[in-house]
Amino acid sequence: MSAVKPLLARVALIAAFLLPATARATDFTDLWWVPQESGWGANVVQSDAFMFVTFFIYGADHSPTWYSAELTWDGTRYSGNLYATQGTFWANPWNPADHPDAQAVGTGSFTPSSLDAYHATLAYTVPGVGSFSKSIEREPLTQIALGGNYIGAQAGTYSSCSSASANGPYSDNYSLAVSQTTTSATLTFTYASGATCTISGATLQWGQLFDMPSASYACTGNLNYTTTATLYEVKATAQGLEGRLAANLPNGCREDANFSGVLL
């Protein structure tokens, strides 16, 4: 088990109350589209279990059409009313009288993929007008810079280990150096517990998020192994960097973790 933990040497803050009972839910705030259908899309802004969606779509006469939706999480999907609004011509002074109360004209839903945080199904219905249901994905605009030096913390769990005593939560502090090219990234974590782990591989950008499937994952020091890992939902924030990690380790262990760091 020395390859996975001086596990409990790594657990500098082993107390379970320091770890969330479950990982925080994915934030779906992003621009969403169908790549083969450039020209329309949906802007999603999520606030906990609530989602506000605006659509840039077109009517039967091909003119721009404005809908918005207010959707609430029901355990499977976000669903709620679809609204049509109208207002003052943009080149004229604002006139509140041009803005009657928004009227619900239909229903809509946003169903996240069960496989990842990058795909979803968008559906909405306007009675008397039509129905829509399509698979959508996050739309990247420009490459987002991840490179830099960070300081932060990681919290995770080991599970399915051949030695039951190795299973359980852990947390650790680290310094992190990230280098990035247009198609790859390397993250080197230097942990307070004495391990140094380097994760390196190809990157895929999905809107604001990055994915690193089948990345090389090599650790030295208190941890000593070479395997593969998936980094996912990696995001540059206003203060730094955050993401998630999943890896299969020696002795049957599975590692799942969240990490976050502040840019130095």
Task: Write down the domain spans for the chain.
Answer: 7-24+143-263, 30-138
CATH of domain 7-24+143-263: 2.40.160
Q: How many CB atoms lie within 10 A of CB 236?
A: 19
* pLDDT one-digit tens code per residue, 99-117: 887 889 999 999 999 999 9
* pLDDT one-digit tens code per residue, 153-182: 999 999 999 999 999 999 999 999 999 999
* pLDDT one-digit tens code per residue, 194-211: 999 999 999 999 999 999
Q: What is the pLDDT of residue 5?
A: 42
CATH of domain 30-138: 2.40.128
Q: What is the pLDDT of residue 24?
A: 62
Q: What is the mean pLDDT of residues 35-61?
A: 95
Cα 110 versus chain centre, distance:
15
* Beta strand ranges found along 113-253 (DSSP E): 119-126, 130-138, 148-159, 168-180, 184-191, 195-202, 204-206, 209-221, 225-236, 240-248
Per-residue pLDDT band at 2 (split at 50, 70, 90): very low
